[in-house]
C-alpha cells in the first residue's frame, strides 16, 4: 500500500482509509538520533499506539524504513477489514468507520 506523506511539525504524517500515521525522529541526551518512531491513530482516538511490527523498541534505522512499516500495517488493516466485510456484509464496514459530527 502506498501512503502519501507530508511534513507535519517535527515529523511526517500520512492518512490511510482507517487512520493516520505519524513518523518522527527522536534524539537522546547526547543529541544523537535514537531512531525513527511511528505512531498510529485510528481516526477515533489520540496518537500514541506505537507501530512496532518488528518488535524493535529502539525505533527504525531510517525514515524510509519507518514509513514502509506503516504502509505494511495499513495494508494489513485494510485486508482484515475487507475479509470482515466479506464475511459479515457491509455492516462491518460501517461499524469500523469513524462517526462524523454534523
User: Is the pLDDT reported for residue 101 higher than 70?
Assistant: no
pLDDT tens by residue, 76-86? 878 887 777 77
Is residue 32 assigned to a domain?
Answer: yes
The three-state secondary structure class of 1 is coil
Is residue 19 assigned to a domain?
Answer: yes
User: Is the pLDDT reported for residue 44 higher than 90?
Assistant: no
**Which secondary structure element, helix H or strand E, spans residue 41, and what is its range?**
strand 33-41
Quickly tell me which residue has 488493516 as its cell: 77
Task: State how far Cα 55 lies from the chain centre.
Answer: 15
Number of domains the chain is built from: 1
- Cβ neighbour number for residue 22 with a 10 Å cutoff: 21
Q: Quote the pTM value.
A: 0.67
Is residue 102 assigned to a domain?
Answer: no
Q: Where are the alpha helices (DSSP H) in 27-62?
A: none
Domain that holds residue 22: 5-96
Is residue 101 assigned to a domain?
Answer: no
pLDDT band at 53 (very low <50, low <70, confident <90, very high): very low
What are 15's three cell numbers?
492518512
pLDDT of residue 74: 86
pLDDT of residue 76: 84
Amino acid at each position: 500500500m502506498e501512503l502519501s506523506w507530508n511534513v507535519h511539525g517535527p515529523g511526517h504524517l500520512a492518512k490511510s482509509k482507517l487512520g493516520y500515521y505519524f513518523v518522527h525522529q527522536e534524539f537522546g541526551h547526547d543529541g544523537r538520533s535514537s531512531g525513527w518512531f511511528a505512531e498510529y491513530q485510528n481516526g477515533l482516538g489520540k496518537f500514541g499506539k506505537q507501530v512496532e511490527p518488528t518488535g524493535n523498541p529502539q525505533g527504525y534505522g531510517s525514515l524510509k524504513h519507518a514509513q514502509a512499516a506503516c504502509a505494511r500495517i495499513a495494508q494489513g488493516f485494510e485486508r482484515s477489514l475487507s475479509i470482515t466485510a466479506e464475511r459479515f456484509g457491509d455492516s462491518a464496514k460501517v461499524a469500523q468507520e469513524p462517526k462524523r459530527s454534523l
